Structure 1
Amino acid sequence: MRSFDAQTRLIATVPGDVVRLTSTVDRGQGQEALHVAQLPGLLEQLAFRARVQSVKASSALEGVVVPDDRRADRIIAGSATTLRTRDESELAGYRDALDYLWVDDWRPLNVGLVLHLHRLLLQRTTATGGALKTSDNLVVDRLPDGTRRVRFHPVSAQATPYFLDELVGRFRDERERDVHHPLLLTGLFVLDLLVIHPFDDGNGRVARILTNALLADVGYGVARYVSLEQLIADTSTDYYAALLASTHGWHEGEHDPWPWLRYFAGTVARSYELFAQRAGSSREAGGKRDRVKRYVLEQAPTTFSIADIRTALPGISDGTIRNALDDLRAEERVASDGTGRSATWTRR
């Protein structure tokens, strides 16, 4: 709420490096629809991988870890019939909450939605989900020597309902006004939600789930295909440092949001860069496969081997050649007399 109380002062003048980051994000958004239209098969694969990474990475940031990676994958896939530990239950809960926003249609942001996500997160545990904190909490760092250091003081339990309601209302108002960049408004919402810290447990995970959905709601759907949670986990030191730097003076409305917004915009920009790289790699692989098919159908001898194609098309891997031949065989345009390196192929 504090960031939206003073949002004109806070983000009226955007630093040049942040402007460049938002421009990168906007360019990525412009290419997103093209990728969605042209590469549906790739996007399905990327979405599956991003979902798994998001559940694992966001949970691990809060110390929720299932050591057996294959077991974790089964839990995320929903194929584990029983959940054995609190961590396994919380991993499944993150999956439930993430899927609630990704699988179903987006619901308008309100306090009820925030509470419901928290309920889904903890519904498989003995903890109470979907309820605001009833006692004051602290955000602390655990130091190597075992001592704890207070990172910041969240909003009091008594004031939390008011602050949370105000935050949601102010954010929605600013989105409707459409004065400031939606990426920055989303970043401010996440910052304030984390400082309010409305729950006894699960605040970071709820904030990260909402981040994905709020970005998608304004057309930045990259988090479906590149895990923002994984990028945050990979840069967790910078993540926490940026949050800490932007919380000083928050209660007085004198904080500096730019360390956090710079990190936040940079993370989304990086996700679009990775998305473009992966889409480009897929196009390149597809282009090479098409070259193999054209060579086989138009130039190769009637009977040929993989070695013949390798010689004619240097720079194309055997894997790509085999994939192209498998495609042509499925279309009944070539046939093979065997398997392995010594096999020969015949064009029909």
Structure 2
Amino acid sequence: MKSFAPGVLERQKIPMAIVRAVGHVGELKGRLALHRHTRGDALLALAAERPTIRPLPPHAAPTPDYILQVHADVCADTTRPAGRWRPSDGVEDGLDGMLASRQQFRPPAAADVEELITTLCATYRARVAADDAEPLFALGAFTLDFLCVCPFAEGSARVGWRVADVVLRDLGYDVTRYVGLGSAVEDTLPACQAAFEASTKGWHAAWHDLTPWWAYFLATLTHTHEELDARLAAIPHGRVLKSDTVRKAIEELPSPFSISDLERACPEVSRPLIRRVMSEMKGTRIRLLGRGPRARWERI
């Protein structure tokens, strides 16, 4: 793809500020390791509140099939077409479309999407295997190219940031288990738009400047660590966690019960977290009775 075309990464003139930012996010790994020792329970609670993200095999690069599966996961609770490439040249509006709809940049034609994503995955995988580029620069370039292609009618940005979350975990940046890049992007949309606009000038000709996007990508990764610190600070030691509230309700509700019963018993808990706790307890503490909207659960 464009950012991995011959010579593109090599000709980037990287400012010292970006070099220092790479070092800084590396230092933040150590802070997270300390949190695991001192706030392990709180981290588990924050992880439980995050949407379950389909993992990649260790040290594996994203593939087109994996990306389609992530899109299906993103759209699972909606009526939107899921797990299919963009069928037309129009791009979506709103948060997902802001990277393409508000700028002069236009994504490639829909007819080219599958081939472009296949090429992007292959060239990224080859670059990682060569081990001749800073992994964060390679992932940042992959994410930019992905957003430029805008492979889905809706949900392209969410999928792109989720895929980046998963790859970052494989690189040792486990912060995305607790705070996703997408959340940080929502907090910094103007900066995201500015970086995207700056780095997509000349993209179609593979003659673009990646450094504005890299600076934003690293700042976003730093933001996730800062957000994690803030969320941990808001959880007092010994506080009753939302996941424990769900487990207590499961033990106390008349059996059998439905997910709706749990939602009424735990009004402050989101449905994704309720589902996650139930998934953890399935087979050992509870079992499913029936299928579909009338499905109910009973304690074992």
Q: 1:230 to 1:120 in 2, by over 3 A?
A: closer
Residues 150 and 156, structure 2, Cα contact 8 Å, conserved in 1: yes
The structure with more radius of gyration:
1
| Counterpart residue identity of residue 33, structure 2 | A
Count of residue pairs the alignment pairs up: 230
Paired residue for 1:169, among 119, 122, 143?
122
State the superposition RMSD in angstroms: 2.8
Unaligned runs of 5+ in 1: 52-94, 143-147, 287-348
TM superposition shift of 1:126: 3.4
Could you say what secondary structure the match of 1:8 adopts? coil
Q: Matches of 2:80 and 2:184 in 1, distance apart?
A: 28
Residues 46 and 178, structure 2, Cα contact 8 Å, conserved in 1: yes
| Counterpart residue identity of residue 253, structure 1 | A
Question: Are 1:259 and 2:212 an aligned pair?
Answer: yes
Paired residue for 1:241, among 194, 197, 204?
194
Q: Matches of 1:105 and 1:36 in 2, distance apart?
A: 23
Other-structure match for 1:183: 136
Other-structure match for 2:22: 22
TM superposition shift of 1:31: 3.4
Q: Matches of residues 1-348 of structure 1 in structure 2 within 5 Å?
A: 1-5=1-5, 6-11=7-12, 13-48=13-48, 51=50, 95=51, 99-101=52-54, 108-138=61-91, 151-275=104-228
TM superposition shift of 1:37: 3.6
Show CA shifts across 1:250-288 (max 9, x none). 000111111111111011123234445666x599x87xx
| Counterpart residue identity of residue 8, structure 1 | L
TM superposition shift of 1:191: 0.3
Other-structure match for 1:310: none
Show CA shifts across 1:271-322 (max 9, x none). 234445666x599x87xxxxxxxxxxxxxxxxxxxxxxxxxxxxxxxxxxxx
Q: Matches of 1:44 and 1:268 in 2, distance apart?
A: 20
| Counterpart residue identity of residue 101, structure 1 | R
TM superposition shift of 1:7: 3.7
Larger relative contact order (C-alpha < 8 A, sep ≥ 6)? 2
TM superposition shift of 1:229: 2.4
Q: 1:149 to 1:194 in 2, by over 3 A?
A: closer
- Identity among equivalent positions (%) equals 30
Q: 1:122 to 1:231 in 2, by over 3 A?
A: closer
Residues 141 and 150, structure 1, Cα contact 8 Å, conserved in 2: no
Unaligned runs of 5+ in 2: 96-100, 238-300
Residues 10 and 257, structure 1, Cα contact 8 Å, conserved in 2: no
Tell me the TM-score normalized by structure 2: 0.68
Q: Matches of 2:102 and 2:132 in 1, distance apart?
A: 39
| Counterpart residue identity of residue 106, structure 2 | H
